[in-house]
Amino acid sequence: MVYEHSIIERNPWWISAKVPEALHGIQRIEYLEKIAERLKDRKILAVLGIRRSGKSTLIYQSINQLLDVGINPKNIFYINSDDLKKPTRDNLECALDFCQQKNMVSLKDEKVYVFIDEIQNVKEWQLILKKFYDLKYASKFIVSGSSSSLIYKDSSESLAGRIGFLDVFPLTFREFLEFNKVILPKVKLDFISLKDAYYELSLKQNEILGYLAQYITVGGFPEWFEVKNEEMWFKILSEEYTSLLLYRDIVKVFSIRDPLLLESIFKFVAAHSSERFSYLGIARQTDGDKETSKQYLYHLANSRMIYLSGYYTKSEKAAERKEKKVYFCDIGLKNSFVGRQDIGFDAENIAFLHCIKKVSEELFGKLFYWFDKNKYETDIVMSCASGITPIEVKYRESFGAKDLKGLVSFCKEFDIKHAFVVTRSMLDERDIEGIRIVFVPLWVFLLS
């Protein structure tokens, strides 16, 4: 049975012709522009990301933009799967029928924009949209989901060529500053652009560093800007977010047999973010078995709650035998479980999250780490169709040549001529053993 009253409440613009101000939020221009561009074609659009990363707000903002350009309010439907008593294919179709009858419009014959939130809760959702797409319905369908792995799996099986994806992340540091009304220049990942930004923002540097300290503490979930109280915020993160992220998006969706083991692994990762691990090692630390631990880590990673970084090598078999590095999805969420830890690890985690968003926008983009036979490591290796960029994170006041041995070794091994070192405050460009290395403060790096 469809909760028709709830659907009407979810679509107030059918009556008022506008989205209530309480739902507007702060605009994330980059995502809104991408969504607006994707609304022009026929393909189904899937907006994916960890729960509370801001997907629903982006949907409301996109609806507001459609209204601003003159789209008939009755040609915009918003359905949340939570409003379906049973999230089944039949009930979703009933909800769509109700919306059409209520507004006297036809999905088949008119350009109706249909937004369906948390689509992963609806069984066989992909079959409904496949039917509409193949029958050349005039309408545009936009779905959002928190369990990204499930949506990718469902869509790859039946929606190949019919669906496009947009990944939404918690706020980057640049967005965090913009939410705090700090005006920023465009910054590219090259020395001249980084240096120009450094000097252009020199008068704001103390303010920006203050916000960086806050960002490293509370993280990037947009809801922080509604709370702005650290004690309350960490309580929300550790209680509400955990129940939503773990139990609704993983335990329920993937029918996890041992939720307590999953939570133990989640907390173990929080305490060891930015470190290398083995599946057997995690199993021993959490009293699980190797295969179950591996499976649960897979679910956490594919739900965007953690990120796994593999060893960089040309041989996939060799990479499988190496340990992986693990990073947490949000530094504030991590802090809510295990408190503030080593600032060096936190800085690397934040630099990694910045890079993961960058490679998500690149063709064949992936992140790795590397170490040589002497165990000298390169923290992050950005691999894209455009090339390889090695990055070492040294978030401290001083470091010596020994600290760069892994980076230099990697560049020599793979004939790389340019590399980056993310520092606490140092800005410079040096030639070291024939390699052009840019040293850049973390706060500037995060603006690129």
Q: Do 228 and 243 share a structural domain? A: yes
Give the CATH number for residue 150.
3.40.50.300
Spatial CA neighbour of 168 closest among 220, 114, 105:
220
Per-residue pLDDT at 29: 93
Residues 92 and 228 in one domain: no
d(CA 100, CA 350): 45
- Domain boundary at 167, 186, 210, which? 167
Same domain, 344 and 392: yes
**pLDDT given for residue 198 in this prediction:** 97
* 3-state DSSP helix/strand/coil % of the chain, to nearest 5: 50, 20, 30
State whether 144 and 36 are in the same domain. yes
Give yes or no for a contact between 430 and 418, defined as CB atoms under 8 angstroms apart: no
pLDDT score, position 334: 93
Domain boundary (167, 186, 205) is at 167
70, 142: one domain: yes
**Structure confidence at residue 156 (pLDDT):** 64
Contact 337, 238 (CB under 8 A): yes
Domain count, the chain: 2
pLDDT at 317: 73
pLDDT at 87: 83
135 and 189 in a single domain? The answer is no
Q: 136: buried, middle or exposed (CB in 10 Å: 19+, 13-18, 0-12)?
A: exposed
Is there a single domain that holds both residue 213 and residue 152?
A: no
* Residue 424 DSSP class: S
pLDDT value of position 147: 65
Query: How far out from the chain centre does Cα 269 lie?
Result: 17
pLDDT value for 92: 92
Q: How far apart are CA 83 and CA 1, in angstroms?
A: 10
Mark 261-291 as b/e (b = at least 16 C-beta within 10 Å). bbbbbbebbbebbbebbebeebbeebebeee
> 82 and 129 share a domain?
yes
Q: What predicted TM-score, i.e. pTM, was given to this entire model?
A: 0.91
Domain boundary among 144, 167, 190: 167
**Cα 317 to Cα 320: distance, rounded to the nearest angstrom:** 5
Same domain, 128 and 223: no
258/263 Cα distance (integer angstroms): 9
Question: Does one domain contain both 147 and 195?
Answer: no
126 shares its domain with 268: no
One digit per residue, the tens of pLDDT, for the chain of length 448 reads 457 889 999 999 999 999 999 999 999 999 999 999 999 999 999 999 888 899 999 999 999 999 999 999 999 999 998 888 788 899 999 999 999 999 999 999 999 999 999 888 888 899 999 999 999 999 999 999 876 656 766 666 778 889 998 999 999 999 999 999 999 999 999 999 999 999 999 999 999 999 999 999 999 999 999 999 999 999 999 888 777 778 877 887 778 889 899 989 988 988 999 999 988 989 999 998 999 999 999 888 888 889 999 999 977 776 777 899 999 999 999 999 888 878 999 999 999 999 999 998 887 889 999 999 999 999 999 999 889 999 999 998 888 889 999 999 999 999 999 999 999 999 999 999 999 999 999 999 999 9
Q: What angle do CA 346, 350, 354 make, to 5 degrees?
A: 170
Residue numbers of the domain that contains 375: 173-445
Return the pLDDT at 149.
59
Are 248 and 312 within one domain? yes
Going by the DSSP 8-state scheme, the letter that residue 145 receives in this structure is E
